[in-house]
Chain A
Amino acid sequence: MTDTALPNEGNRPESEVAELRRIWARPRGWRIISDVNNTTVGMFYMGTALMFFILAGVLALVIRAQLAMPGNDLVSQDLFNQLFTMHGTTMMFLFAVPAMEALGVLLLPQMLAARDLPFPRLGAFAVWAYVIGGTVFFSTILYDLAPDGGWFMYTPLTLIEFSPGDNADFWLLGIGFIEISAIAGAIEIIVGVLKTRPPGMSLARMPIFAWAMLIFAAMIVFAFPAVILATMLLEIDRAFGWPFFTARMGGDPLLWQHLFWFFGHPEVYIIFLPAAGLVSMIVSTMARRPLVGHDLIVVALIGTGFFSFGLWVHHMFTTGIPSLSLAFFSAASMAVAIPSGIQVFSWIATIAAAKGRLRINTPSLFVLGAIFIFTMGGVTGVMVALVPVDFQVHDTYFVVAHLHYVLMGGMVFPLFATFYFWAPMVSRNQLSERLGRWVFWLMFAGFHIAFLPMHLTGLRGMPRRVWTYSDDVGWNWLNLVSTVGAFILAAGVLLFIVDLARRFRPMLAGGGAGNDNPWGAPTLEWLPNDVYTTRSIPLVTSREPLWDQPDLAREVQEGRHFLPNSATGERETLVTSPVEGKPQYIIRMPGPGYAHVVAAAGTAGFFLLLTVKLVVPAAICGVMAIIGCLVWTWGLDKQGDKGLVEIGAGLKVPSYMSGPASHTWWAMVVLMLVAGSLYLAYVFSYLYLWVVSPEVWPPHAVAPPSGEWTLSVAGLALASAGLTWWAGRLLPPSGQRSGLVVVVLGLAALALMASFGLNIQAQWQTGLRPTDSAYGALVFMASVLDGQVVIAQLILFGVAMARMLCGRLDRVRRVGYENCTLLCYYTVGQMLLGLLLVHGFPRVAG
Chain B
Amino acid sequence: MKDHPPSITRTLLFLLWGPIVWGVQFTLSYGGHTLLCAQGASPVASQWGLAGLALLALIAIAPVAFRSGAVAARLGVLPTGGEGGFVVLVARLAAILSLIAVPWTAAGALMLQACIQGR
Q: What residues make up the interface of A, taking CB atoms closer than 8 Å to B?
A: 1, 3, 194, 202-205, 295-296, 298-299, 302-303, 305-307, 309-310, 317-318, 320-332, 335, 338-339, 387, 391, 577-580, 582, 687, 691
Contacts and interface: CB of A to CB of B under 8 A. Distances in A.
B79 interface: yes
Contacts of A318: 119
Contact of A324 (B6, B26, B87, B112): B112
Given A306-B23, A331-B104, A321 B118 contact: yes
A577 B5 contact: yes
A187 to B, nearest CB: 16
Contact of B81 (A298, A320, A580): A580
B79 A324 contact: no
A306 to B, nearest CB: 4
A381 to B, nearest CB: 17
Contacts, number: 134
Contacts of B8: 194, 577-579
B89 interface: yes
Given A295-B89, A302-B90, A580 B113 contact: no
A394 to B, nearest CB: 11
Interface in B50-99: 77, 79-81, 83, 85-87, 89-90, 93-94, 97-98
A339 B97 contact: yes
Contact of A691 (B6, B35, B46): B35
Contacts of B22: 306
Contact of A320 (B37, B89, B114, B119): B119
Given A323-B118, A325-B34, 9 more contacts: A203-B87, A204-B85, A303-B97, A303-B98, A305-B19, A317-B118, A324-B33, A325-B30, A329-B30
A237 to B, nearest CB: 23
Nearest to B23: A306
Contacts of A305: 19
Nearest to A298: B90
A302 B93 CA distance: 10
B50 to A, nearest CB: 8
A338 B98 CA distance: 11
A322 B118 contact: yes
B100 interface: yes
Contacts of A322: 33-34, 37, 114-118
A332 to B, nearest CB: 6
A202 B15 CA distance: 14
A296 B16 CA distance: 14
25 contacts: A203-B79, A204-B85, A295-B86, A295-B89, A302-B15, A302-B90, A303-B94, A303-B98, A306-B16, A306-B22, A307-B101, A320-B117, A320-B118, A321-B117, A323-B114, A323-B116, A329-B30, A330-B108, A331-B104, A331-B108, A335-B101, A338-B100, A579-B8, A580-B6, A691-B35
Interface majority SS (helix, strand, loop, mixed), chain B: helix
Nearest to B35: A691
Counting chain B CB atoms within 10 Å of each CB, the highest count among A305, A330, A387, A582 belongs to A582
A391 B100 CA distance: 27
Interface majority SS (helix, strand, loop, mixed), chain A: helix
Nearest to B116: A323
Nearest to B11: A579
B9 to A, nearest CB: 9
A277 B98 CA distance: 22
Given A194-B8, A324-B109, A204 B83 contact: yes
Given A320-B117, A332-B26, A302 B94 contact: yes
A339 B11 CA distance: 21
B107 interface: yes
A79 B6 CA distance: 58
Given A303-B19, A579-B5, A202 B79 contact: yes
Contact of A335 (B35, B104, B112): B104
Contacts of A302: 15-16, 19, 90, 94
A3 B81 CA distance: 9
Contacts of A330: 108
Contacts of A580: 5-6, 79-81, 83
B42 to A, nearest CB: 14
B23 A202 contact: no
B108 A327 contact: yes
A203 B11 contact: yes
Nearest to A211: B90
Given A203-B83, A338-B100, A580-B5, A328 B29 contact: yes
A87 to B, nearest CB: 31
A3 B82 CA distance: 12
A325 B112 CA distance: 10
Interface string B1-33: 100011110010001100110110010011101
Contact of B87 (A204, A327, A338): A204
A298 B8 CA distance: 17
Contact of B77 (A194, A306, A321, A579): A579
A299 B89 CA distance: 9
A332 B6 CA distance: 33
Closest 3 CB pairs of A and B: A327-B108, A204-B86, A306-B19
Contacts of A295: 86, 89-90, 93
Contacts of B115: 322, 324
Contact of B118 (A194, A303, A387, A687): A387
Contacts of B116: 322-323
A204 B79 CA distance: 10
B105 to A, nearest CB: 6
Nearest to A329: B30
A202 B5 contact: no
Contacts of A307: 19, 101
A213 to B, nearest CB: 15
A305 B19 CA distance: 9
Contacts of B104: 331, 335
B95 to A, nearest CB: 9
Contacts of A579: 5-8, 11, 77, 79, 87
B53 to A, nearest CB: 12
Contacts of B98: 303
B81 A202 contact: yes
A322 B33 CA distance: 10
Contacts of B79: 202-204, 579-580
A687 B27 CA distance: 14
A302 B17 CA distance: 11
A303 B97 CA distance: 8
A331 B105 contact: yes
B106 to A, nearest CB: 9
Contacts of B33: 322, 324-325
B26 A323 contact: no
A386 B109 CA distance: 16
A687 B35 CA distance: 9
Contacts of A323: 112-114, 116-118
